[in-house]
Amino acid sequence: TQLLEQSPQFLSIQEGENLTVYCNSSSVFSSLQWYRQEPGEGPVLLVTVVTGGEVKKLKRLTFQFGDARKDSSLHITAAQPGDTGLYLCAGRYSGAGSYQLTFGKGTKLSVIP
Amino acid sequence: EAQVTQNPRYLITVTGKKLTVTCSQNMNHEYMSWYRQDPGLGLRQIYYSMNVEVTDKGDVPEGYKVSRKEKRNFPLILESPSPNQTSLYFCASSLRGDYQPQHFGDGTRLSIL
pLDDT-wise least confident of A77-86, A94-103, B8-17: A94-103
Report the residue of chain A nearest B104, measured CA to CA. A42
User: A102 vs B90: CB contact, 8 Å cut-off?
Assistant: no
Question: Which amino acid, one-letter code, is at A94?
Answer: S
pLDDT single digits (tens) B50-75: 999 899 999 899 999 999 999 999 99
What whole-number percentage of chain B has pLDDT above 70?
A: 100
pLDDT single digits (tens) B83-103: 999 999 999 999 987 778 899
For residue B103, the tally of other CB atoms under 10 A from its CB is 21
C-alpha of B78 from chain center: 11
pLDDT single digits (tens) A31-89: 899 999 998 899 999 999 999 999 999 999 999 999 999 999 999 999 999 999 999 99
Q: For residue A97, is pLDDT > 60?
A: no
Beta strands in chain B (DSSP E): 4-7, 10-13, 19-25, 31-38, 42-51, 54-57, 65-66, 76-78, 87-94, 103-104, 108-112
Task: Answer yes or no: are the C-beta atoms of B63 and B112 closer than 8 Å.
Answer: no
pLDDT band with cut points at 50, 70 and 90 for residue A98: low
Give CA–CA dist B39/A46, Å, rounded.
Answer: 22
pLDDT at B85: 98
pLDDT at A96: 58
User: Which residues sit opposite A93 in a β-bridge?
Assistant: A29
Report the residue of chain B nearest A43, measured CA to CA. B104
Handedness of CA B46, A94, B69, B73 (dihedral sign): positive
Task: Answer yes or no: are the C-beta atoms of B103 and B27 closer than 8 Å.
Answer: yes
User: A43 vs B56: CB contact, 8 Å cut-off?
Assistant: no
pLDDT at B2: 81
pLDDT at A108: 96
Compute the C-alpha angle B93/B45/B67, nearest 5°. 60
pLDDT single digits (tens) B23-44: 999 999 999 999 999 998 889 9
User: B48 vs A90: CB contact, 8 Å cut-off?
Assistant: no
